[in-house]
Amino acid sequence: MTHWKRLLVMGLFVSTQAYAQQPTTTAPTATLQTAPAGGATTLSLADALSTALAQNPDYRQQLNNESPANMAVKSAYATFLPSATVSGGFNYTGSGQSNFGGTNVIKTSSSVGSSYNVNLSWGLDGRTLMAPGQTRANLRATQKQIDAANVSLRSSVLTQYLTVLQTNARIAITTQAVARNQVFLDLARARYQVGQATMLDVRQAEVTRGQADVDVLVAKQNNDDARLELYRLMGVSAPVVLDQVTLTDSFPVVKPGYNLDSLLALAATTNPNLLAAQASAQAAGYNVTAVKGEYFPSISAQANWNGYTQKYNDTTAATGSNTGTYPWGFTGQPFQVFAGLQLPIFTGLQRETRVSEAKARRDDAAEQVRAQSLLVRTQVTSRMLAVNATYEAIGVAEANKVAANDQLRLAQDRYRLGNGTALELSDSEGAVQRAEGTYVDAVYAYHKAVAALEEAVGRPLR
């Protein structure tokens, strides 16, 4: 063997040893975390949640509903107080002939005048009596709907935060695959130079290396999409460089020990959608009572104060006809007061129609509560089963990852000794990448399943 061939074989041996020592594990068994880089901006889950609750436009729209509901309660109590109106004005009447009561009246002078009116009115009926209770029930329903939106937004942000971490791990897996496949390519080329491999081996290594590059690009694109969605849920604009913000939270994998009966009992009292449906049903029931109030008699009262002034422009022709001192010296009119009682007897079945419609809405709301209760039970049961299943899947995926790494080491040894083929080694490389990806997906599927279970219950469980 010539001197240069000896050097090349020694280089092959060193290269294969370096290839065998390449790391093949990307995700730990208990915790997946993206550590902050030096000087990089960090984002914790708590910061993401607080930003979303302050900036998410859909959630802010829900918050805006509380103010008018609060004002409706105040208005309902204010209707027990009398309403007051004040009016005033100025008038001008020209000279000439006019007809008043069948008699022609000739005005020889134009006139100007001013007047004021103060009116107090008060009324009470069945709807007024029921309005405070009904508006309070509507306010409670609005607040429960806001609570439901709060829980839903928190769950969405948490799930998307997990998705960003998951795609981060996917980038790490594909990047390590590129490094391994580059060593594979270098080895195939070196073996080809000394006649220990064919050009087919080189081409196979090139294809595998190229596919790894594509996988990195796809993983980065998925990560960019996940980050954009996270910023959208937070209600803020994404930075120009998407990966300049490092997520800092980690999520340990803990064996689930949830009890289905306990979770169902807890969800029955804490699930926000169920509580919102119950509050809406209570408001619908109050509305039936309010509509029935139309059968009650109504009481009304009114008081009125007014005055006026009048001045003729031709004072000679209208001597003694002026009143008060224009425009502010008003002549008061007699004080007027009125009180009355009204009892509706027959309204063309309009009240009966409104009562029937209100009862239908109340019954619909009751059925909605029952439907929501069934949905909650189904969701809690299904999602608890999903938590258990995804936890078991982590163990299976981890075992597959170990087996794939063993397969890769065997394929490396066989190829180094000349017993294996490039296709066999390429398949082993792909198996390791798939196994590691499956493991990462299994870990984050577990965390997302726990987040979904927490949303169904209506409160954190960890």
Give the CATH number of the domain where residue 285 resides. 1.20.1600.10
Q: State how far the Cα of 441 lies from the Cα of 163, in Å rounded to an integer.
A: 10
Q: What is the CA radius of gyration of the chain?
A: 41
The predicted-structure confidence for 156-179, as pLDDT tens digits, reads as follows: 999 999 999 999 999 999 999 898
Last residue of a domain, one of 276, 307, 342: 342
pLDDT of residue 321: 59
Please indicate, yes or no, whether residues 174 and 314 belong to a single structural domain of this protein. no
Q: Which of 300, 455, 437 is nearest to 384 (CA)?
A: 455
Q: Do 91 and 9 share a domain, yes or no?
A: no
For 144, other C-beta atoms within 10 Å of its C-beta total 20
Residue 22 inside a domain? The answer is yes
Q: Do 226 and 157 contact (CB within 8 A), yes or no?
A: no
DSSP assignment string, 271-283: -HHHHHHHHHHHH
Half-sphere exposure of 290 (CA within 13 A, CB side): 22
Mean pLDDT is lowest, of 21-35, 55-69, 114-128, 443-457, for 21-35
Residue 9 has pLDDT above 80, yes or no: no
Count of C-beta atoms within a 10 Å radius of residue 280:
24
Residue 372 forms part of a structural domain: yes
> Do 386 and 284 lie in a common domain?
yes
The residue out of 342, 375, 410 marking a domain boundary is: 342
Q: What is the mean pLDDT of residues 226-240?
A: 94
Residues 338 and 449 in one domain: no
Residue 462 inside a domain? The answer is no
Residue showing tokens 């807890």? 266
Q: Do residues 91 and 32 both lie within one domain?
A: no
DSSP 8-state assignment for residue 237 = P
Q: Minimal CA–CA distance to 68: which of 126, 143, 131, 125?
A: 143
Same domain, 184 and 292: yes
Per-residue three-class SS string for 220-269: HHHHHHHHHHHHHHHCCCCCCCHHHEEECCCEECCCCCCCHHHHHHHHHH
Range scoring the smallest mean pLDDT among 47-51, 249-253, 286-290: 286-290
pLDDT band at 128 (very low <50, low <70, confident <90, very high): confident
Write down the pTM of the prediction. 0.79
Same domain for 397 and 371? yes
CA distance linking residue 220 with residue 226, whole number of Å: 10
CA distance readout (Å), 319 to 94, 111, 331: 17, 12, 17
Amino acid symbol at 326: Y
Q: For the ranges 6-20, 162-176, 186-200, 276-290, which has the lowest average pLDDT?
A: 6-20
Q: Report the number of distinct structural domains present in the chain.
A: 2
Decide which of 242 and 148 is more confident.
148
User: Is 153 among the domain residues?
Assistant: yes
194 and 57 together in one domain: yes
Task: Compute the average pLDDT of residues 176-199.
Answer: 86
List pLDDT tens digits, range 275-323: 999 999 999 998 898 888 888 888 989 999 999 898 887 765 544 456 7
Closest CA to 161 of 32, 290, 349: 32
Q: Are residues 11 and 103 in the same domain?
A: no
Two structure tokens written together for 281: 């049903």
In whole angstroms, give the CA distance from residue 26 to residue 397. Answer: 13
Owning domain of residue 332: 83-122+298-342
pLDDT tens sequence across 406-415: 998 898 888 8
Structural domain contains residue 323: yes
The position carrying tokens 């399943």 is: 449
Q: Are residues 270 and 363 in the same domain?
A: yes
Query: Which of 290, 266, 268 minimizes the C-alpha distance to 369?
Result: 268
Last residue within a domain, chosen from 342, 376, 410 = 342
Other beta carbons within 10 Å of 301: 14
Please check whether residues 322 and 361 belong to one and the same domain: no
**pLDDT 10s digits, 97-112:** 766 666 766 666 788 9
Q: CA nearest 158: which of 319, 44, 313?
A: 44
Task: Say if residue 222 is in the same domain as residue 101.
Answer: no
Task: Check: CB of residue 117 under 8 Å from CB of residue 308.
Answer: no
